[in-house]
Structure 1
Amino acid sequence: MEIQNIEVIKSSGEKVKFSLDKLRSSLKKTGADDTIVNQILDKVRDELYQGISTKEIYNRAFALLKKNKSHLASKYKLKKAIYELGPTGFPFERFVSAILNFSGYKTQVSTTLQGKCVSHEIDVIAFKNYEATIIECKFHSDQGQNCNVKIPLYINSRYRDVRDNWYQSSKKETTLNPGWVVTNTRFTKDALRYGNCCGLYLLSWDHPKNSGLKDRIDRLGLYPITVSTQLTNREKQFLLSRDIVLCRELINDSFFLDHLGVSETRKEKILNEISQLCL
């Protein structure tokens, strides 16, 4: 069967034509050279069949990449690693906060603010240059689930309630910026349309173009600890429970690995992998 006739099934259940170019592009973004990319493409192409899932294609490409260079495989699994921050969503809030910290913001996580009508628990508040930004994080553990228009509708009403009370409080010397909504998945077209119309800043996996969550993570080298191919799931959960969310945080606090009883040989492999990621 010709490769252009192969249909694959996405996590949402949608059927789409398989694209070798998309797979090549995602592999190239990890920093893998042409030789490695072409080897992986050849092997994946040989194993394609009608109705194969995108998950199965990903798993195969990931395994082949890991066999070559583990830190490249870590980059390749970034999207999956964000889902692994769950299930509570709190590590995702801390992750968003950490990204903003490295962009020059001072942040507070899980803060209660008084609105004109009621009080609201805010996921992240970011401060910079006497300006404050209220950020709500919507974490989905289901890869097929997107943020529909109800999310920005709800968040905009909360934002407006806080805004109406903001300058009545002691924070009046700080300007309140338009609110943000950050998600690890994608926004529907209506959600994007409403967000743009009411003035909310929407940040998702791939929106805005060239400045989405993935772009910011790659650009700043701020990979979540869950991307590691060397750490076990149990070790990752332990580190998350100790507020170690970023790989670069583990480099600075490697004594956590000693606490986990990690051998010196494994410790070296783990730190080598995440050091290459954070370059």
Structure 2
Amino acid sequence: MKHVTKADGGLQPFDRRKVQRTLRNLGLSTENADRISGEIEESVPDGIATAAVLRMIHARARTVRPAVRHRTNLRRALALLRPKPDFEEFVRVLLREHGYQVETGCILAGRCGEHEVDAIAHKDGDTIFVEVKHHASPHRMTGLDEGRIARAIVEDLQEGFRSGRCAVSIDGALIVCNTKLSEHAKRYATCRGIGHIGWDYPEEKNLRAMIEETQSYPVTIVSGVGPSIYSRLAAAGVLTAKQVAYGDATTISRDAGIPLREVLLIAGRARAILEP
């Protein structure tokens, strides 16, 4: 059995299914994803770095779907977002794409104190507050503290509602982060009923899966959108690849202060990423 070396130096078995999933997420057909994943599995040496495997995936994928060359790594694209307000707003957009009614952040009064939350979300009869956590390093773990704080806030807001201080009846909390969660954080959240969405957690509805399912990519996934261009797009309220791909280029150019020719170039690359 072959192994890959993770960013933290640890080894894990080579998982062909992960390679297939990544290729499918890049827009390749099932047939091509199966074929290329098999070729990669055969050719990689034991202990290869995961980053090297990812480079191989993108190189092979470009031979089948040239539009892949316009796309950067999703994990890195998320890390490039500014924590406030951009990643917070990106999370609100993503939750709306998945059927939540989302209000922007506000201050809620608990029994013992006031709490500023990043969003209030409603779905299936439940009302939760959302806390957003962003790390500039995609390899940094999100730990236990966020869950413990969220649990304390839930209790205080629920007591505040019963005492008449809080106007909103809160059923729970949801923490959304762009990195992996520590095992301790997962256990505590499960035990205490705190919702968590991390890079690869939970298995079905993690951040990566939610983005890929609705193609709600951050605009930073488009190659050529560096910090300068991104900051101007974000200031104009353009945070997703969909917005630049299908928005009015003239308006985006004017609001962001970016030459129209450059906006059209970015929009074309974004459409190539989004469309089969």
Q: Same fold (TM over 0.5)?
A: yes
> What is the distance in 1 between the residues matched to 2:264 and 2:66?
13
Question: Are 1:217 and 2:211 an aligned pair?
Answer: yes
Instruction: Compute the displacement of 1:26 (Å).
Output: 1.6
SS in structure 1 at match of 2:172: coil
Against the structure 1 CA distance between its residues 180 and 115, is the aligned structure 2 distance closer, same or farther, given a 3 Å change threshold? same
Tell me, yes or no, if the aligned pair for 1:74 and 1:228 is still in contact at 8 Å. yes
Tell me, yes or no, if the aligned pair for 1:222 and 1:278 is still in contact at 8 Å. no
Gaps spanning 5+ residues in structure 1: where?
none
Letter in 1 for 2:188: Y
Question: Are 1:79 and 2:43 an aligned pair?
Answer: no
Tell me, yes or no, if the aligned pair for 1:93 and 1:109 is still in contact at 8 Å. no
* Partner residue in 1 for 2:185: 191
> What is the distance in 1 between the residues matched to 2:46 and 2:269?
36
Which of 155, 160, 163 does residue 160 from structure 1 map onto?
155
* Partner residue in 1 for 2:97: 102
* Partner residue in 1 for 2:127: 132
Root-mean-square deviation (CA, aligned residues, Å) is 3.1
Instruction: Compute the displacement of 1:19 (Å).
Output: 4.0
Deviates more, 1:179-188 or 1:56-65: 56-65
Against the structure 1 CA distance between its residues 247 and 49, is the aligned structure 2 distance closer, same or farther, given a 3 Å change threshold? same
Gaps spanning 5+ residues in structure 2: where?
none
Against the structure 1 CA distance between its residues 277 and 168, is the aligned structure 2 distance closer, same or farther, given a 3 Å change threshold? farther
Letter in 1 for 2:232: F
> What is the distance in 2 between the residues matched to 1:55 and 1:19?
14
Question: Are 1:117 and 2:139 an aligned pair?
Answer: no
Letter in 1 for 2:170: L
Count of residues in Structure 1 that have an aligned counterpart in Structure 2: 270
Instruction: Compute the displacement of 1:270 (Å).
Output: 2.7
> What is the distance in 1 between the residues matched to 2:85 and 2:93?
12
Letter in 2 for 1:198: R
Tell me, yes or no, if the aligned pair for 1:122 and 1:136 is still in contact at 8 Å. yes
Runs of 4+ residues over 6 Å off in structure 1: none
> What is the distance in 2 between the residues matched to 1:128 and 1:21?
32
> What is the distance in 1 between the residues matched to 2:27 and 2:72?
10
Question: Are 1:243 and 2:237 an aligned pair?
Answer: yes
Instruction: Compute the displacement of 1:128 (Å).
Output: 5.1
> What is the distance in 2 between the residues matched to 1:128 and 1:25?
29
Against the structure 1 CA distance between its residues 13 and 187, is the aligned structure 2 distance closer, same or farther, given a 3 Å change threshold? same
Question: Are 1:32 and 2:28 an aligned pair?
Answer: yes
SS in structure 2 at match of 1:124: strand
